[in-house]
Structure 1
Amino acid sequence: MGSKTQTPRRRRRATAALLTAAVVAPLGVSAIAAPAGAAAATGADTAATLPVFAVRSSGLTTAQASGLGKALGIRLARGEDGSVRYAAEQSFLAVPTKTAGRPGKDEDGQPTTTTVLDVAALRRLRTIGSSDALRRAAQALATAKLTPRGAKASARNTTITAVDRRGQTTVSAALDTSVSYSFTLAGLPYEGPGAKIRIAFDGKGKATALSYSTRTVAQTGSVAVVDAAGAQSRCAEAMAGRVRIASATPVYWAPALSAGVRTIEPSLRCSGFHADGSRAQIVVVPAALDAQLPEMPPPPAPRPGPDRVTARAYGRADVGSEGTGPCSGLPHTGTNLASFNGQFSSRGIPVEFSWTDQNAWEQDFKDPAFGGDDSDWTDHVDMTYWQGHGSPTGFSFSGCSSNDDTFLSNTDARWGNGDVEWMSLFTCLVLASDSGGQRWWQRWGPAFAGLHQINSFHTVSYHSASHGGTYANYMLRTPFLWWNKPMPVRSAWAQASIDDQPASVVWASMGPIGPGGAVSMNDYFWGKGAVSPDVPAAAVTGYWYISGGS
């Protein structure tokens, strides 16, 4: 792509106005490296331009990582790409529980351990205030000489709420206080897994989690970008015409450091609605005028007919995955599901099915009582991972398949009366705290018929090609020295979402409460730690819900 001569800074906002009807107000200079006069030009004969930034360095050096760990009082391991991630084994998103009763076995013969919510200890939990957390984060970064220039810090709590069957709150508490930094380049949002600084603190001000993944960049020129109409068209094309585009917002996207990119170029954040009204996952595409969108992958071979169910039996740990891809305007679903599948198959854990596009069927998630056959598919494995468009009341198959309809409604789900323990729904808004006059427990509580957890999002999520693999790795990884220990399922979901999603995305998890306060929130995947027994639908006494920012 060719470079344009720099034009006065005062014309930058005109470019943003051309790109989207809603002008993005500049938030200051780059949080990673201040551009030396970011350029934007408009004119009758000149296409609008935005700066391009060259990557000068990526991640932290070993010395920088050591200095940051020392400033926070924690021991850090630096990744090969220079990123640093830390989650305290005992205190990361910890919820007080107590072991109760005798060990048991589940339907597969796997050992189970009953834990109950320690309500008294939960009520005693305290967290530091936002101002204190902001001060501690700023001080640690300054001590390590890693203060991000021009970044905006914000603080929020990770929270837990428990309700009884009538929806009366029995306990509500904050688990930590996290500080996240938001960045800009040339006055536009700069976001993504490669623009991440997040630090979480417990009630004593000790760091319980850290994500640090940034690049140092410098302006190296500029590139012609599409105008407002072109942005809408580009987004529609990228989503295969399957999504009604609500906004095409100019941003700078920061891929994961492992991507090894050499430049950061302007992009478009595409958001909208699917044909059935479900919210589309946000897709990010290049904004450059001459950019070429990658070709959509070809549709998979048709799914076998009525005899498609392969011989499967209870008695072993296994998983499955499904998702809608190009047929719903999501280009990376196949890659993401493959990343999830690969983590399990490489460890000898069977992936019993992986259906994409027109082969992903609503009836695979629907209970037989409502005409589905989840007992052959998503409720016949221990964990199912899904990617697609969603809403607070379900998720969409529209444009892809209609077997036996195009939307899995919360009222069609009864999960866990077969085998599934953990339903992992990488989609939008499924666990929104409130929607349409119904709270999370009212919408999804009836789906728990032995299911241990639903892991999903309170907000709209960003489309990803790697979330599934990151999530699976956190659950299954093998310890090395003092780190790399496997995480509980919900903690793995939270950390994968923190790694993969911008700070604005709020992840969420929920599960049932059984007799005596029995909970499943601390489950590990089979063979990696303790797992709770099933709570049949008739024995559910309430529900728990945990959510936090990415």
Structure 2
Amino acid sequence: MIGAASVTSTVTASAAVTELPVYEVRGAGLSPDQAAALQRAFGLKDVQRDDSGAVAFADETTYLKVPGLDQGAGRADEDGLETRQTALDLEGLKRIRVLPVEDATKRAVETLRGAGLLPANAFAAAKHTTFEVLDVNGRPLYSAPIDTAVSFTFTLDGIPLEGAGAKLRVAFDGQGAVAGLTHSTRELAQAGTIPVLDLTAGRERCAKQFGGAAKVTDVSYVYDAPALSERIDKLEPSIRCAGTTPDGSAAQSLTVPAAVDGSLPEPGPQQPPRTEGAIAPQWTSRVDVGSEGTGACSGLPWTHLNVGAFNNQFTSRGIPVQFSWLNQNAWERDFKDPAFPGGWDHMYADDVDMTYWQGHGSPTGFSFSGCSANTDGFLSNNDARWGNRDVEWMSLFTCSILQHTSGGLNWAQRWGKAFRGLHQINSFDTVSMHSAVHGGRFGHYMLRTPFLWWNQPMKVRDAWAQASIDTQPAWVVWATMGPIGNAWIANFNDYFWTKGPVGPDTLPTVGFWRLSGTS
């Protein structure tokens, strides 16, 4: 059965449910023959199938393409690295034509069904990936779709099935060719039931997981499908927990077991207490990264795994991780500019080329609530001045930072002041789901080594989008913004250093751009 919109129906507390189905895994991923059939059905030159049977494709020439004009070499970066200037091609943007959502939906559904690769419980919904341009005051100058993405949602007996192991997405360019494709699903069959908490008791379990760091605002049943690489043999029901922190930030949504005898995850390892004297060495002559995140102290059980996965992608390639602070050691002042009392981002978040953060967030900043208050518990957009020392890419795995409009201000009006040489903020328009693997996938896509035609390193913003597509439900909207400087120079096509061209530090003298799309 195929529907025109994603399914949101869930069992309610009033139903007093005490039993929900368990599903046996009968198969996972596509076989080599099925992957070949998928390739033929969509007319692709090839597809990449991993050992788990997950299949992916991205056309380097059309995937999330934004037209740009090469303007030659730019001034050297503070690390002494060469840069390449790209101007935003407004006329090229205006020439882009995309498939109507109805046509894209029909094409995806019919092609998958014809190849015998459309799961019976998949529901299709298409939306455009959008590129926006605003002037320096945040007034709209241009907005246009650049592709049409069909994202499939899944249900099991009316309850959403979500996760990296329940992903099917097809993005079409304006000519109707596939620009990007992800197929990562399991064959499931009901195999009995188990006693579960009703949603009133489920709310209490969510509150226990958040541990006072967030107030529970909503709970619902969900089946959590981990990546196919986790070779599970059954799926049991979970409860999705949504909430807000004391400072008003949206809690990163997470899941807890719904089974009556289910248990919460154990807290991860704790770092030794950090002291104010433990400052990082200040480097501007090397390529390096840093990371921070709030985990168990903010009710997020997998932050240490996610941040660790990000770190490992870089250390395994010889790129130093200058700092990685977790829980009580993650401090607001590390992201605050020295122009404001207590700020020392010049020693941390703005002293590396990329900083990765995971925790709770809002349209006006991100939260350290429940973990630390040094110098306070919330990094406000008004305290952010990034890039005036080193950082090119601020990657914030948190909620709603780049929400289109909030409190009467759009994304550029809220975050424009932060761009003092910064190239990009990578984050989300919506609430995001807690993840243990997003950081690793993000790093992998940026840094991977080419093999034949595939496995090419992705642009930073494409890597952010693809990691989010891989790990987030279809309703989550990822987003990236950046500045537009004189002569319309902009850094929307940046790669990570040594993986492809990088633009020069650019101040937003003309305005800002934002790319956003569904997962």
Output the TM-score relative to the length of structure 2: 0.96
Query: Contact conserved, 1:319 with 1:383, CA < 8 A, in 2?
Result: yes
Paired residue secondary structure (1:364): helix
Among candidates 9, 16, 24, match of residue 11 of structure 2 = 16
- Which aligned runs of 4 or more in structure 1 are off by greater than 4 angstroms? none
Match of 1:544 in 2: 513
Deviations 1:25-79 (Å, cap 9, x if unpaired)? xxxxxxxxxxxxxxxxx6xxxx710010000000000000110011111110111
| Partner of residue 311, structure 1 | 281
Residue pairs, 1:42-441, within 5 angstroms: 48-74=18-44, 75-306=46-277, 308-371=278-341, 372-441=343-412
Contact residue 158 and residue 178 of structure 1 kept, 8 A: yes
Counterpart-to-counterpart distance in 1, 2:123 and 2:274: 49
**Aligned mates of 1:375, 1:531 — CA distance in 2:** 22
Q: Deviations over 1:345-384 (max 9, x none)?
A: 0000000000000100000000000120000000000000
In structure 2, give the amino acid aligned to 1:435. S
What secondary structure is seen at the aligned counterpart in 1 of 2:190?
A: strand
Paired residue type of 1:541: V
User: Which residue does the alignment assign to 1:35?
Assistant: none
Query: Residue 488 of structure 1 corresponds to which residue in structure 2?
Result: 459
Say if 1:123 and 1:172, in contact at 8 Å, map to a contact too.
no
The alpha-carbon deviation at position 420 of structure 1 amounts to: 0.0
In the TM superposition, residue 298 of structure 1 has moved relative to its aligned partner by 4.4
Distance in 2 (alpha carbons) for counterparts of 1:118 and 1:336: 36
The whole-number CA distance in structure 1 between the counterparts of 2:517 and 2:373 is: 34
Cα deviation, 1:260-288, whole Å, max 9, x if unaligned, reads 11101111000011121110000111100
Query: Are positions 1:512 and 2:483 aligned together?
Result: yes
1:145 positional shift: 1.0
Write the deviation string for residues 53-111 of structure 1: whole angstroms up to 9, x where unpaired: 00000000000011001111111011111001111111100000011143431111011
SS at match of 1:116: strand
Asked whether the equivalents of residues 171 and 178 of structure 2 are also in contact (C-alpha less than 8 Å), the reply is yes
1:388-427: CA deviation from partner (whole Å, max 9, x where unpaired)? 0000000001111111011000000000000000000000
Any idea what SS the aligned residue of 1:543 has?
A: strand
Any idea what SS the aligned residue of 2:126 has?
strand
Residue 233 of structure 1: how far off its partner (Å): 1.0
Please say which of residues 380-389 and 219-228 is displaced more in the overlay: 219-228
8 Å Cα contact 2:280/2:348 also seen in 1? no
CA distance in 2, matches of 1:339, 1:158: 28
* Greater shift in the superposed pair: 161-170 or 272-281: 161-170
Equivalent pair of 1:239/1:331 in contact (CA under 8 Å) = no
Give yes or no for contact 2:136–2:511 (8 Å, CA) kept in 1: yes
Task: List gaps (5 residues or longer) in structure 1.
Answer: 1-14, 24-41
Q: Distance in 1 between matches of 2:256 and 2:184?
A: 21
Gap regions ≥5 residues in structure 2: 1-9
RMSD after superposition: 1.4
1:102 maps to a residue whose letter is A
Contact 1:85 1:209 in 2 (8 A): yes
Q: Is the 8 A contact 1:344 1:350 kept in 2?
A: yes
Query: How many residues are aligned here?
Result: 509
The answer on whether the counterparts of 1:461 and 1:505 sit within 8 Å (CA) in structure 2 is yes
The one-letter code of the counterpart of 2:68 is: T
The letter of the residue matching 1:232 is: R
Kept in 1: contact 2:213–2:369 (CA 8 A) = no
The one-letter code matched in structure 1 to 2:510 is T
Per-residue displacement from partner, 1:148-177 (whole Å, max 9, x unpaired)?
213211100000011111323222111100
AA matched with 1:180: S
What secondary structure does 1:90 align onto?
coil
Name the SS of the counterpart of 2:49 in structure 1: coil
Structure 1 length-normalised TM: 0.91
Is the Cα contact below 8 Å between 2:132 and 2:514 reproduced in 1?
A: yes
